[in-house]
Chains A and B, each alone.
Chain A
Amino acid sequence: GQQLNQSPQSMFIQEGEDVSMNCTSSSIFNTWLWYKQDPGEGPVLLIALYKAGELTSNGRLTAQFGITRKDSFLNISASIPSDVGIYFCAGADLTGRNYGQNFVFGPGTRLSVLP
């Protein structure tokens, strides 16, 4: 099946630093989603992007839908300890009735924040 690549796989940063991570695909998507997963919990939606070039913010988080439609980026500004977790990207081609089978998830970026 399709695969998404996320980089970096993991990162350790100091509290207060900014964070950047990205997600790339060999396929074109018309929707990009970013999720955060805390230990023992399900992924929680952070940001949804629907248009190439779109830049959307959610508090200290900003995500962008790449112009090529094959990538997306997530930035976190001024990191805090509760930002710790795994961040997943998902690409989707939401056309037709069978949209359900078209979500593809990346393997995740594990973020650790050092006090």
Chain B
Amino acid sequence: NAGVTQTPKFQVLKTGQSMTLQCAQDMNHEYMSWYRQDPGMGLRLIHYSVGAGITDQGEVPNGYNVSRSTTEDFPLRLLSAAPSQTSVYFCASSYRGGKLFFGSGTQLSVL
């Protein structure tokens, strides 16, 4: 099992550009989520999904969209990148709560 796979590892965008961060898991987990990590702060939840076709907002959803068409994939879309979205993004999955498994992260810089 590869676990949770995120791509790309690094990305630089200009303000106003859009892009999609990819996340895939091969553990047949129902639950998937996206977090952002900023210096000195804990991980903050952006969006999450409890199953295919179901998504919901977390603590900091503005400027991000998600969809869950399959159990395996949960892409995060930045609609119009802003410097405030410079951060490290982590995708995580869980079978049914409790033990979250994280990907290795995407470091995003918005200039």
A residues whose Cβ falls under 8 Å from a Cβ of B: 1, 3-4, 31, 33, 35, 40-45, 48, 50, 88, 90, 92, 94, 97-101, 103-108
Contacts and interface: CB of A to CB of B under 8 A. Distances in A.
Interface size class, chain B: 20 to 34
29 contacts: A4-B42, A31-B97, A33-B98, A33-B99, A42-B90, A42-B102, A42-B104, A45-B100, A45-B101, A88-B42, A92-B97, A94-B98, A97-B50, A98-B50, A98-B56, A99-B31, A99-B97, A100-B33, A100-B45, A100-B97, A101-B45, A101-B48, A101-B59, A103-B45, A103-B100, A105-B42, A105-B44, A107-B40, A107-B42
B41 interface: yes
Contacts of A103: 45, 100
Q: Nearest 5 CB-CB pairs, A to B?
A: A105-B42, A42-B102, A99-B97, A100-B48, A105-B43
Contacts of B75: none
Contact of A104 (B4, B42, B94): B42
Nearest to A31: B98
A63 B25 CA distance: 28
A99 B100 CA distance: 11
A101 B56 contact: yes
Nearest to B10: A40
A107 B97 contact: no
Contacts of A88: 42-43
A111 B49 CA distance: 33
